[in-house]
Structure 1
Amino acid sequence: MAETTDLFPPQTPAVVIDRASMTYTVNSDEKRPSPGNVLGRVMRKIAGKESTVQIEALKELSLVAYHGEAIGVIGLNGSGKSTLMNLICGKIQPTGGAVYASSTPIMLGVSAALVPDLSGAHNVILGCLAMGLTRAQIEDRHEAIMELAGLGSSINLPMRSYSSGMSSRLRFAIAAAIDPEILIIDEALNTGDDEFRGRTKQRMDQLREQAGCVFLVSHSLKTIQDLCTRVIWIDKGDLLFDGDTETALGWYRKYTKELAGGDRFAAAKIRRRMQNTLETVSVEPLQPGRRKSVGA
């Protein structure tokens, strides 16, 4: 692992999650009689008389992420990965427990500030301005952003003409331009050629060397393997594994293989094994003067 700067001694927490959980209350027709009566269901919805159910998107979870780490987050669709990332960056507040960060986490997702009808080059300026960079800072980092995105002459075309992979490259290049202390990348690097992955790894290594902490959510296990120093595996809202990348990916591949083959008994056995071997984390406070409740 790359050494951290003098600003953050080794094993200095960047994110502390203390028994955080997230439960949503949603409307449901499940317990209502006469399921075929569409008009009745519509009228109940209008009158606000629908039944509600509790959904545990994320069960009680504790972990500590340190400066200088690149943490991969894996799990099947609907497992709670994005919920965890939204808790870390402060987009939502946990219904239980707390989340702390040493600085405001930046999520790779400047899409709200980007305009599809404008060129990629113009969107670089918009995205950087949205993240708080000055004109002088944008000008100073413009060449590095363009090089990392690697879009060539396409940078002058409207973003609506970009493929999903090209858009992901540009968003990553913009987000990584501000040297964030805590960067969250959610499902944005699943596409791209070997050259782009190489540039991405180089940039993430630079962030880690500067004592940055990176969370990467991806279904691409190759991307996780190449870029991450640690892996968190979440399944059905439960934390199943937190540790070595190779070990995590090995068990995850076995788990998904059993599910794909229809052997849910074998998959459940792996799941229990992961839960039984998961070590209890010791949640430590951030450095004095740097403790901050995310989203508060």
Structure 2
Amino acid sequence: MAEERVPTVIADEAHIVYRIHGASAAGANSPAASFKRIMTKKNAASIREVHAVKGVTFVAYRGEAIGLIGSNGSGKSTLLRAIAGLLPVERGGAIYAAGQPSLLGVNAALMNDLSGEKNVELGCLAMGMSPAEVKARTADIVEFSGINERGEFSTLPMKTYSSGMAARLRFSIAAAKKHDVLLIDEALATGDAKFRKRSEARVRELRAEAGTVFLVSHSEQTIRDTCERTIWLESGVIRADGPTEEIMRMYEEFSNK
């Protein structure tokens, strides 16, 4: 009997719209428009809508690592934020996810005035680890991140770290816990080849632990090394969804036109 595939994320005709306050519509500042506002005593429109993701539908399953590719502004990071529950889905669509998806991005919040070790402790506690677990895991997380390879940076404030060091520490904290759904936005693009190899191996471990991983990366090799399935987004619409090598060939042909 074939093993049952367990869905972890279901996107059903998901639309995501940004509303930008304080932005005027095109032509709103023309002389004719200004005259009309004076006569009608109405203010210019101050909200502009950006339809970032348009009717996206897919199902992700337990144990999958899924790459998200596409041109800049195609909606990849927006989709991750919606899966994490940080952006609302509207226009009749929905996104359903198992448990609480964890979003790991290069902009994840860390406390700049606290040391790397203290940030590890706080991050692990925030993910639900017990104080005993945090104490037992902190040294391993710091070692995995590699921030001490050129000195005892783990005891220094985060504000002394380079952006690459901070990104490596964020990934190391998030990857220390088993996740139903882990969303990674460009975090593997930082660091040297040795760290990328460690992080890609950790993603494979997370999949083996029955998690689902979504990975946004501009590194085509990272997608190929980490993900067996890839979704290609362009202008907020899914252009293709399937085996990574097949989708990457299609995307490369598109990009080289």
TM > 0.5 fold call: yes
Partners in 2 of 1:72 and 1:109 — Cα distance?
A: 15
Contact 1:114 1:126 in 2 (8 A): no
Counterpart position of 1:272: none
Q: 1:112 to 1:56 in 2, by over 3 A?
A: closer
Counterpart position of 1:23: 17
Identity of aligned residues (%): 47
* Matched AA of 2:213: V
Counterpart position of 1:265: none
Q: CA deviation at 1:173?
A: 0.5
Counterpart position of 2:45: 50
* Matched AA of 1:23: V
Partners in 2 of 1:151 and 1:25 — Cα distance?
A: 39
Counterpart position of 2:86: 91
Counterpart position of 1:100: 96
Q: How does 1:239-254 map to 2 (within 5 A)?
A: 239-254=238-253
* Matched AA of 2:61: Y
Q: How does 1:125-204 map to 2 (within 5 A)?
A: 125-152=121-148, 153-204=152-203
Partners in 2 of 1:245 and 1:208 — Cα distance?
A: 16
The two structures have a TM-score, normalised by structure 1, of 0.76
Aligned to 2:124, what secondary structure does the other structure show? Answer: helix
Contact 1:10 1:67 in 2 (8 A): no
Q: 1:10 to 1:160 in 2, by over 3 A?
A: farther
Per-residue CA deviations over 1:20-39 (Å, capped at 9, x if unaligned) read 1112344324132437x9x9
Per-residue CA deviations over 1:5-56 (Å, capped at 9, x if unaligned) read xxxx542111111111112344324132437x9x99xx9xxx8532654422
Q: 1:25 to 1:154 in 2, by over 3 A?
A: closer
Partners in 1 of 2:168 and 2:18 — Cα distance?
A: 33
Q: CA deviation at 1:225?
A: 1.2
Q: 1:175 to 1:228 in 2, by over 3 A?
A: same
Q: CA deviation at 1:63?
A: 0.3
Q: How does 1:229-268 map to 2 (within 5 A)?
A: 229-258=228-257
Per-residue CA deviations over 1:236-294 (Å, capped at 9, x if unaligned) read 01101111111222222222222xxxxxxxxxxxxxxxxxxxxxxxxxxxxxxxxxxxx
* Matched AA of 1:99: I
Contact 2:106 2:167 in 1 (8 A): no
Partners in 2 of 1:128 and 1:178 — Cα distance?
A: 8
Counterpart position of 1:67: 62
Aligned to 1:177, what secondary structure does the other structure show? Answer: coil
Count of residue correspondences: 243
Structure 2: stretches of 5+ with no match in the other structure? none
Q: CA deviation at 1:128?
A: 1.4
Q: CA deviation at 1:136?
A: 0.9
Q: 1:211 to 1:10 in 2, by over 3 A?
A: farther
Question: How big is the alpha-carbon RMSD for the aligned residues of Structure 1 and Structure 2?
Answer: 2.4
Structure 1: stretches of 5+ with no match in the other structure? 1-8, 259-296
Q: How does 1:218-237 map to 2 (within 5 A)?
A: 218-237=217-236
Q: CA deviation at 1:204?
A: 0.9
The two structures have a TM-score, normalised by structure 2, of 0.86
Counterpart position of 1:290: none
Aligned to 1:108, what secondary structure does the other structure show? Answer: strand
Per-residue CA deviations over 1:83-136 (Å, capped at 9, x if unaligned) read 111111111111131111121101115966521122211111121122222211
Contact 2:16 2:87 in 1 (8 A): no
Aligned to 1:107, what secondary structure does the other structure show? Answer: strand
Per-residue CA deviations over 1:58-91 (Å, capped at 9, x if unaligned) read 1111100001011111111111111111111111
Contact 1:31 1:51 in 2 (8 A): no
Q: 1:182 to 1:48 in 2, by over 3 A?
A: farther
Aligned to 2:187, what secondary structure does the other structure show? Answer: coil
